[in-house]
Amino acid sequence: MIFAIVRTAIAALRRDRPSLALSFLLPIAFFSIFASVFGGQHSTTPKVKLIIVDEDQSTASRQLVQALKRETSLAVSTQSESKNKPAQTFTAASAEAAVKAGDSPVALMIPHGFGEHPVSFGPAQSGSQIQLLNDSSDMIAPQVVSGLLQKAAMSAMPSTMAEQGAQYTGKYIGGFTPEQQKRMDENMAQLRKYADAPAKSEPDRSSTGPGDSALGGIIAVQSRAVVGENKRSPMISFYAAAIGVMFLLFTASGSAGALLDEAESGTLDRVLSSHVTMTTLLGGKLVFNTILAFT
């Protein structure tokens, strides 16, 4: 008896073209709209535009700039981009003008003399402080850049951090013995060699897939996605699942509404006056909705 109810419901759906379109075409239309809007976004967090002006052009400043360029959360530019004008390197004045014009929410100025005192464990050296120009209407971007700047300084200039730390340590403890200074110089040489090694053999990131990422550090780690590694827009999977559940609920509510309409029109009483029971009728509708959902 349940099979007869399912067969009747399928025949009714085939004859009812508006319901057929709502069951199959509308979910595809909804999914296509969501996929076109959100499919191009590989991350829910947009990149922060950052202008960098390196007036020092020292080894430390170049290391810092390269480290900031490697940050995936930042879109770093050192030259102006214009369709009508050739690209020009940003200066302090042009970078400030770009922030005022709204082209970028943040700009970093690395002044002359930064390489001599790149980090400061005590009072900051006059004239070597990095200036951060920002738009006060965007309160998030300056904090993001400031935090990533500290991270880049720690990761890109390990030898400089160690040298500055040793200088401050020697200053406050009264100096090192000749043997301690010799060992420290040897360790500093090894640290500089380790810090310069990645710069000479920078990995080619252009061939890295969406599921691959190289995690730098003392222990080399290579991350590889084993599920969905070939997906160009993995976030669409979430939209598809959400839309599927939403239309399953629509199908269930529509079936319940149709049952109420049958009760009001008297069709339900005529069906129940035959050999069909209410349990059988509900079971048949449940099986039909399940088949429709899987389809």
Tell me what pLDDT residue 64 has.
86
- C-alpha dist (Å) from residue 63 to 37, 146, 249, 282, 283: 38, 17, 55, 70, 70
> In sequence order, which ranges of 201-235 are alpha helices (DSSP H)?
none
Closest Cα to residue 142, out of 99, 92, 112, 89?
99
The model's pTM: 0.48
Domains and CATH numbers, the chain: 2-39+233-294 (no CATH), 48-197 (3.40.190)
Tell me what pLDDT residue 202 has.
44
Q: In degrees, to the nearest 5, what angle opens at C-alpha 64 toward C-alphas 53 and 58? A: 70
Tell me what pLDDT residue 41 has.
55
> At 80, is the secondary structure helix, strand, or coil?
coil
Tell me what pLDDT residue 199 has.
46
Tell me what percent of the chain is helix, strand and coil, each rounded to the nearest 5.
Answer: 55, 10, 35
Q: What CA–CA distance (Å, rounded) separates 1 from 275?
A: 9
Tell me what pLDDT residue 194 has.
61
Q: What CA–CA distance (Å, rounded) separates 195 from 6?
A: 71
Per-residue pLDDT of the chain (295 residues; tens, 9 = 90+): 788 888 888 888 888 888 788 788 888 888 887 777 766 555 556 788 999 999 888 888 888 888 889 888 899 998 887 767 777 888 888 888 888 888 888 888 888 887 777 766 555 554 567 888 888 778 888 888 888 888 887 776 666 666 667 776 777 777 778 887 788 777 777 766 665 555 444 444 434 444 444 434 333 344 444 445 565 666 676 677 778 888 888 888 888 888 888 888 988 888 888 888 889 988 988 898 888 888 8
Q: What CA–CA distance (Å, rounded) separates 39 from 43?
A: 10
Report the 10 Å Cβ neighbour count for 100. 11
Q: Are strands 212-215 and 74-77 parallel, antiparallel or unpaired?
A: unpaired
Q: What is the DSSP string of 165-204?
A: HHHHHHHHHT---HHHHHHHHHHHHHHHHHHHHHHHT---
Tell me what pLDDT residue 119 has.
65
Query: What angle, rounded to 10 degrees, do the helices at 59-69 and 140-156 form?
Result: 120
Instruction: List beta partners, residue 110.
Output: 54
